[in-house]
Structure 1
Amino acid sequence: MATRATARPRSIDFNAAELMVKTIKGLTMDAVQKANSGHPGMPMGCADLATVLWTEFLVHDPSDPQWFDRDRFVLSAGHGSMLLYSLLHLTGYDLPMSELQNFRQWGSKTAGHPEYGHTPGVDVTTGPLGSGFAAGVGMALAERFLAARYNKPKHRIIDHMTFGVVSDGDLMEGIAAEAASLAGHLGLGKLIYLYDDNHISIDGATDISFGEDVAKRFEAYGWHVQRIDGHDHPSIREAIASARDDERRPSLICCRTTIAKGSPNKANTSASHGAPLGADEVAATKEAMGWPADPFHVPEDLRYALGEQMPEHAQNREDWDARLIAYREAHPELAAELALLIAGELPSQTFAGFDALLEGFEVGGAIASRKASHKILSKLAANHPTLLGGSADLAGSNGVLLPDTPGQSAAHPEGRNLHFGVREHGMAGVCNGMALHGGVRPFDATFLVFSDFMRGAVRLAALMNLPVVHVLTHDSFWLGEDGPTHQPIEHAMSLRLIPNLYVIRPGDAHETLGAWRLAMERKHGPTALLLTRQNLPTLAESRAEDVARGAYVLLDPAGEGDLDGIFIATGSELALAREAALRLAEQGERIRVVSMPCWEAFAEQDAAYRESVLPPSVGRERHLAVEAGSTLGWERYADHVHGIDHFGASAPAEVLAEKFGFTVEGVIERWAQIR
């Protein structure tokens, strides 16, 4: 059976290809000029290589942008968005000319940088350089993993490529280096990047800061590397075909290009990188190209030539549909499972055994939430066939090593343990790509303090509504002897600033189970699980099911009477707040204890529920928040905070607790100051 990697290219008439190159340049110049904003140089310089890729090699169906077995396309150099918008418009996606004419304007589908879920045919949100590069690695990894699980003899239903265009700026970024190293190590042979090697950045020629031999660097990573003229169509065609033939290595095609090629005065200059060419230069460029002066011109001959490819696009998808029918007949259970996962749904058995797990966390016992998490994750992995992930070289410490499955590799593409190495930013970016690809549920892990290294990718996951789970352990000064470099202080609050990110800090094993359930049930956004190194007592009053509501009443004082105050606590401080409230009860104080593991989920509850937890009759001046981290932000719920606004120190955890006031006596003393 022919595979995608050996499939014959489509053909397009030479004259039509030349028209397409000029049309891309014309549309780019006109859109950027009309918006008086944008980046014309990159799309003009990449028009040749994009034309060859999209008209001859890329397998897709414009009438069905989410067709699962399509090739993925990553414009990692997202500032060149008019290249992608031109391609989408010309090849038949639902992106009419009016959208190109409304480039970078309010409400348009043509934002300044491509946005996944906003524009038909955009496979990933890009703009922060290097992020698309990492996402493409994740896409290729997900494709190989799913192919290993679901393809069977005579039934190849997962078989597609990941293509992309990357820039000098992408390859300067650390995230790209991290992801490239990992991709080469894993041998992701169905990943092909066209490198727009134009030697120009915003500040000038790239040699002011970027003088390495990129080709040799990627050869050292284990990539298949070629160097070509990025404007010569036969060379581009031959290089892409050669890259597809190498199924053992990812490929980088170094395409020597001229930025803003065709512009008489601004080609090969940084002036064309991030600003309109100007009306006079647009006119001069069109004259030099022999192109009509009227804006947004698309020749009818080109529309006809590209229209002739539409039946072939549809046929590719229809052939897959037919293969899928045959697959369903031969392997009905696997086919049903795959269909469910492609739809983003959880298998019905995902939470099987959770009740037994909950009972196993006995009240009165103690277990670190990272260790409780490992038990829960192991059960989830047994129940969910495409839950996969790993750690940045901390799998044992984070508690994320999955049982009964090998490490992901070329030899074991079915492996569900991903050894990311010390590459936190790349790790999170790769997980984004896996989530974007679909069919899998990825997670990653590191210490909470190192979430700083991941922040850009975490933010993009939130922007794209990707259900990635970030397991972030060793979540406070309780880490102890490793000292202030490894003790997160501001990190929980910093993560809460990211819109659409659920930050869950469970207070014991019961809440940890609820946290994982909430994370897995989220379809439209990432989740960060903040877990402890130290043991936490398992509380009689904690409730796994109420984690999904973000906050709940853990403990109310016995008997009748008004509340004197409310302690609001998260994570390891929940037991501390509870014990302090019980001590105060002996002195006649009536204190409610509220567990608030997830601010974001609580904010989404209706007003009646929120007021039942934090009644208006007890004003915020009588609320004390207790959390071993930055106090800034807690004013949303409490006028008083028992927290930390300084770095930690190297000492045993119990010593630090005494020094920093995180003892029952310390909480009571803080409450006395309020009273």
Structure 2
Amino acid sequence: MTSPTSQESIDRLCIDTLRFLAVDAVQQANSGHPGLPLGAAPMAYLLWSRYLKHNPAGPEWWDRDRFILSAGHGSMLLYGLLHLAGYDLSLEEIKRFRQWGSQTPGHPERGVTPGVEVTTGPLGQGFGNAVGMAIAEAHLAARYNRPGFPVIDHYCYVLASDGDLMEGVASEAASLAGHLKLGKLICLYDDNRVSLAASTDLCFTEDRGARFRAYGWQVIEVADGNDLDSIAAALDTARDDREHPSLILVRTHLGYGSPGKQDSFEAHGSPLGVEEVRRTKEALGWPVEPNFLIPELALARYREALAKGGDAQGKWEETFSRYRDAHPELASEFARVMSGGLPAGWEASLPVFPPDGKGMATRVAAGKVLNALAGTLPEIVGGSADLNPSTFTAMKGRGDFESAGLTSADRQGAVGGEWGPAGANLHFGVREHAMGAAANGMAAHGGVIPFGATFLTFSDYLRPTLRLAALARLKVVQVFTHDSIGLGEDGPTHQPIEHLASLRAIPHLVTLRPGDANECAFAWQAALAVKRRPVALVLSRQGVPTLDRGKLAGAEGVLKGGYVLAEAQGGSPRLILIATGSELHLAVAAAERLQEEGIPVRVVSLPSWELFDEQPREYQDAVLPPAVTARLAIEAGSPQGWHRYVGLAGAVLGIERFGASAPGEVVMREYGFTVDNVAARARELLQQQGG
């Protein structure tokens, strides 16, 4: 191979280096997606070499541009870029693509590969994450930037495929982004018009540009995905428009250069094959051997990112040093929130609720707790899917996040105002899926603790984002209210049954269902104290008593997931009642009745299975003594999973059918959630065990 001398030929060399790293890795693994890297390599190379502000030696630098490969199936494109640019990703790891224990899994995973911002693969999710990242950037810039000190000033770029834009989550997120005028969000759309199964002519023929224009996006078209000048002009135009997010439609060819598979779905998700790899290399003028060839000139060009990135980060650090001198308190807070630490003594802001037989819904109590915390923790940012009056998640005095399409002067003026990107209350609209994806992107960006809110039954609408948050270990809080049949008249469409079991089935997700106002306070404390894990807070619509902690154990046991709320009187317990949420007071009242009958009963509150399971075995056995096999769990939801705590000899008062439309107290009574029925079931259980 002769060394090229012109800029055009050097660019071509770099692009083909990226292409064939991907092709060779996929072929060696005999698994993967070569089509996207072959077609999208030119725009990816151009973005990374001329526009992307990043430092491969400092991948966590706060003011870096973010790049998301939403089309995660094309992961070798991203891995190639990371290796070539100088991230801590060796060529050996490239050669171990899709192998056990490698840093190059089949789809990009945050925390596995240096430089991967978010976990992608389920199409549309990365696009939604990018919207969240742009929200976080705009909010932090408005809160912390001061004249002469742009400590947060970066773009979010996303590379998306046809499949991404077909997914509903992308439509929801695009609509939200256009409304919010997220002008520093730029999407490069790999418009190759081929899906996994066939040409997109079979299923995806609307005018994508017109759709995005209707959403409020700037739309730019590039007719030839190999035309670097046209792509550069499009990126320049996109970067100049701070009023609108930008969609750049880049017409590419899936499997570009493959004589037998270009523009065919066969190039999408399978290796080209040894013979077709040879033919493709010959067609593009690339040496057939050796595989994994990286010409020195190409590597040198890519590795310029190290010097450029180091210089950019160094200048930023100089700016931040002067910022710290000029605004020491603001700089200290900024450094803290970006590092993810919580201020000393933040727990002191948690409210304490007095005993109250009437009490309040846990959604109301949790809302009071959130507002108390919001005054102490400015990093809490979030909102609901158009349900603030029902979820009680509006933060008073924190302002509404609205248009991010503001000038620097406007942003400065928005600090502390009632609207604009400095506001902490997000209005996601009726877009649960986008809300979840955006919250994940906000968490991945850093500097904020994002939350979303909707009814528990609609957790189904954002479940994919919960799973990805758990997989990527993102600190996100999702607030789910209206948590049972107790919500009443809205009926079975809105009454969750299987949803708690569904949430508890997600690895690494912490689910908390507090039973009264004080448990809500500690549930929020637990949610914020948990590191690198998402949390689901599950709350009632109906009122529940605020338990008398002078007579019962303190609610701090929530931090351990479960605790002895009421100890048996008159001897060791013969029976344990275990409950969560709005059923907790039923367990307490039933235990009192059984105690009057001479039956020693222990009441255990178990708001979080996950936190309880993490406690030492000695603690778990102290709360649930193995010798006491008469155990009754009480929860207005599916009994699935409860036998891990009640054992085969125990019983569960749960629900295995859909709900009904009637006043909440009537539905609860008809489904057996009364003190009388709990006590009766407990007696029956004791009789069965000969007690």
Provide the TM-score with structure 2 as the length reference.
0.94
Q: 2:541 aligns with which of 528, 533, 550?
A: 533
Measured against aligned partners, the alpha-carbon deviations of 1:316-372 in whole angstroms (never above 9, x if no partner) come to: 010001001000100011111111111111123533332xx20x4334451110000
The equivalent of 1:669 in structure 2 is: 680
Alignment match, 1:328: 324
1:490 Cα shift?
A: 0.6
Tell whether the 8 Å contact from 1:510 to 1:542 is kept in structure 2 after alignment. Answer: no
Give the conservation status (yes or no) of the 8 Å contact 2:337–2:448: yes
| Equivalent residue, structure 1, for 2:157 | 163
Give the corresponding residue for 1:244: 239
Q: Is the 8 A contact 2:41 2:77 kept in 1?
A: yes
SS of the residue aligned with 2:599? Answer: coil
Write the distance in 2 (CA, Å) between the matches of 1:597 and 1:309: 49
Does the 8 Å CA contact 2:85/2:302 hold for their aligned counterparts?
yes
Say yes or no: does 1:557 pair with 2:568.
yes
1:549-599 residue CA offsets vs partner (Å, 9 max, x unmatched): 00000111223x332111110001110011111111111111111000000
1:351–1:383 Cα contact (<8 Å) kept: no
Aligned counterparts of 1:506 and 1:55: Cα–Cα separation in 2: 51
Indicate the residue corresponding to 1:292 in structure 2. Answer: 287
Of 239, 243, 250 in structure 2, the residue corresponding to residue 255 of structure 1 is 250
Name which of structure 1's ranges 267-276 and 14-23 shifts more when overlaid on structure 2.
Answer: 14-23
**Aligned-partner Cα distance in 2 for 1:79–1:309:** 25
Structure 2 match to 1:8? none
- Residue in structure 2 matched with residue 6 of structure 1 by the alignment: none
C-alpha distance in 2 between matches for 1:78 and 1:537: 48
Distance 1:542 1:80 in 2: 54
Q: What amino acid maps onto 1:326 in structure 2? A: R
Q: Does 1:637 align with 2:632?
A: no
Q: Give per-residue Cα distances to partners, 1:498-525, cap 9 Å, x unaligned.
A: 0111100000001000000000111210
Distance 1:428 1:330 in 2: 37
Separation (CA, whole Å) in 1 of partners of 2:555 and 2:247: 48
1:444 aligns with 2:452: yes
1:34 aligned to which of 22, 28, 31: 28
1:545 aligns with 2:556: yes
- Structure 2: gaps (5+ residues): 1-5, 404-418
- Could you state the TM-score of these two structures normalised by the residue count of structure 1? 0.96
Aligned mate of 1:274, from 258, 269, 281: 269
Amino acid aligned to 1:25: R
Q: Report the secondary structure of 2:186's partner residue.
A: strand
Contact 2:86–2:305 at 8 Å: present in 1 too? no
Instruction: Single out whichever of 265-274 and 297-306 deviates more from structure 2.
Output: 297-306
Output the CA distance in 1 between the equivalents of 2:189 and 2:305: 26
* Among 408, 412, 423, the residue aligned to 2:401: 408
Q: Which residue of the other structure, out of 483, 497, 500, is the alignment partner of 1:492? A: 500
CA distance in structure 2 between the aligned counterparts of 1:431 and 1:276, rounded to whole angstroms: 35
In structure 2, distance between residues paired with 1:277 and 1:426: 35
Instruction: State the alpha-carbon separation in 2 of the partners of residues 306 and 659 from structure 1.
Output: 68
With over 3 angstroms needed to count, the CA separation of the structure-2 counterparts of 1:392 and 1:361, relative to structure 1, is farther
Over residues 10-37 of structure 1, what are the superposed CA-to-partner deviations in whole Å (9 max), with x where a residue is unaligned? xx93222111111111111110011010
How far does residue 672 in structure 1 lie from its aligned partner after superposition? 2.8
Offset at residue 307 of structure 1 (A):
3.0
Report the counterpart of residue 601 of structure 1 in structure 2.
611
**Map of 1:191 onto structure 2:** 185
SS at match of 1:46: helix
Is the partner of 2:421 in helix, strand or coil? coil
- Distance in 2 (alpha carbons) for counterparts of 1:527 and 1:263: 46
Q: Decide whether aligned partners of structure 1 residues 254 and 542 sit closer, same or farther in structure 2, where only a CA change above 3 A counts.
A: farther
Q: 1: distance between equivalents of 2:561 and 2:205?
A: 51
Q: Does 1:660 align with 2:653?
A: no
CA displacement at 1:310 relative to structure 2 = 2.6
When the two chains are superposed, the root-mean-square deviation of aligned CA atoms in Å is 1.1
CA contact (8 A) 2:85 2:304 kept: no
* Partners of 1:366 and 1:313 in 2: CA distance: 56
Give the one of 310, 314, 320 matched to 1:318. Answer: 314
The AA in structure 1 aligned to 2:329 is E
SS in 1 for 2:320: helix
State the 1:115 CA deviation. Answer: 0.5
Amino acid at match of 1:614: L
**Does the Cα contact within 8 Å between 1:352 and 1:383 map onto a contact in 2?**
no
Partner SS state of residue 254, structure 1: strand
Tell me if structure 2 keeps the 8 A contact 1:344–1:523: no
Counting only pairs closer than 5 Å after superposition, residues 424-503 of structure 1 correspond to structure 2 as 424-503=432-511
**Counterpart Cα distance in 1 of 2:123 and 2:541:** 34
Residue 284 of structure 1 aligns to a residue whose secondary structure is helix
Partner of 1:572, secondary structure, is helix
What is the distance in 2 between the residues matched to 1:82 and 1:304? Answer: 20
User: Helix, strand or coil: the match of 2:219?
Assistant: strand
Q: Is the 8 A contact 1:27 1:296 kept in 2?
A: yes
SS of match in other structure, 1:500: coil
Q: What is aligned with 1:205? A: 199
Structure 2 residue 388 is matched with structure 1 residue 380: no
Contact 2:141 2:153 in 1 (8 A): yes
1:649 to 660, 667, 670: 660
Kept in 2: contact 1:349–1:383 (CA 8 A): no
Name the % identity: 53
Q: Letter of the 1:230 partner, please give it.
A: G
Is the contact between residue 349 and residue 384 of structure 1 (CA under 8 Å) also seen in structure 2? no
Find the counterpart in structure 2 of residue 9 from structure 1: none
What is the alpha-carbon distance in structure 2 between the residues aligned to residue 646 and residue 630 of structure 1? 8
Structure 1: unaligned runs, 5 residues or longer: 1-11
Name the structure 1 match of 2:354: 361
> 1: distance between equivalents of 2:305 and 2:495?
58
Q: Which residue of 1 aligns with 2:7?
A: 13
Residues 562-581 of structure 1 correspond to what in structure 2 (within 5 A)?
A: 562-581=572-591
Cα distance change on mapping 1:542 and 1:210 into 2, 3 Å = farther
Contact 1:151 1:158 in 2 (8 A): yes
In structure 2, relative to structure 1, the CA distance for the partners of 1:309 and 1:530 (3 Å cut) is closer
Give deviations 1:409-443, integer Å, cap 9, x for gaps.
12611011100000001001000000000001110
Counterparts of 1:413 and 1:347, CA distance in 2: 23
Offset at residue 444 of structure 1 (A):
0.4
Q: Secondary structure at the match of 2:114?
A: coil
Once the two structures are superposed, what CA deviation does each residue of 1:130-176 show, in whole Å capped at 9, x if it has no partner?
00000000001100100001000111110000001000000010111
| Residue 628 in structure 1 maps to residue 636 in structure 2 | yes
Counterpart AA for 1:375: K
- Alignment partners' CA distance in 1, 2:354 and 2:164: 47
Distance in 2 between residues matched to 1:412 and 1:298, nearest whole Å: 47
Hey, what's the Cα distance between the residues in 2 that align with 1:47 and 1:464? 26
How far has the Cα of 1:545 moved from its partner? 1.3
Distance in 2 (alpha carbons) for counterparts of 1:493 and 1:429: 22
Aligned residues of 2:553 and 2:564 also touching (Cα < 8 A):
no
Cα offset, 1:262, TM superposition = 0.7
The CA distance in 2 between the partners of 1:103 and 1:651, in whole Å, is: 56
Q: Quick check: 2:56–2:305 contact (8 Å CA) kept in 1? A: no
Residue 544 of structure 1, CA deviation = 2.6
